């Protein structure tokens, strides 16, 4: 069984390594939509895979760290492409969320990444 919890956060960034003149080289912002997927068996007594509040408790401090920030100023996110942000989030969550299976991060309603770990 796979369960998921969704989050949103707003953040600014710029991509320092794209070519001059590319619109993403300038400072701009996004409303990011993050979905965290956790897999495991349904626990017999309680009837769930995990408590959604436990997923939230593990994720929220890092979401709060990114929310309304300039991602380029976060250590490890100096080149905050959607791919690099997803990898960074995975590293923050992997030891805190048993059964972490996948992270989906949308930068816009039509663009995003899926990361399933290293």
Residue 68 annotated among the catalytic residues of the structure: yes
Question: Residue 63 — φ and ψ, nearest 5°?
Answer: -60, -45
Catalytic residue among 30, 62, 87, 107: 107
Residue 107 annotated among the catalytic residues of the structure: yes
Catalytic residue among 22, 28, 68, 78: 68
Decide: 105 and 86 in contact? Cβ < 8 Å. yes
Residue 59 annotated among the catalytic residues of the structure: no
Residue 62, both tokens: 């890092």
Please say whether the dihedral angle defined by the alpha carbons of residues 98, 100, 105 and 110, taken in this order, is positive or negative. Answer: negative
Catalytic residue among 24, 33, 70, 104: 24
**CA 29 – CA 52 distance, rounded (Å):** 28
Residues with catalytic function: 24, 68, 107
């Amino acid at each position: 069984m796979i369960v998921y919890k969704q989050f949103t956060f707003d953040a600014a960034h710029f991509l320092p390594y794209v070519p001059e003149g590319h619109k993403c080289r300038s400072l701009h912002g996004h409303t990011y939509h993050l979905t965290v997927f956790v897999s495991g068996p349904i626990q017999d007594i309680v009837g769930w895979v995990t408590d959604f509040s436990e997923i939230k408790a593990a994720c929220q401090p890092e979401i709060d760290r990114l929310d309304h920030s300039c991602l380029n100023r976060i250590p490890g996110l100096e080149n905050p492409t959607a791919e690099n942000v997803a990898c960074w989030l995975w590293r923050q969550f992997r030891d805190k969320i048993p059964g972490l299976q996948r992270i989906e991060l949308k930068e816009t309603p039509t663009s995003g990444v899926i990361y399933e770990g290293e």
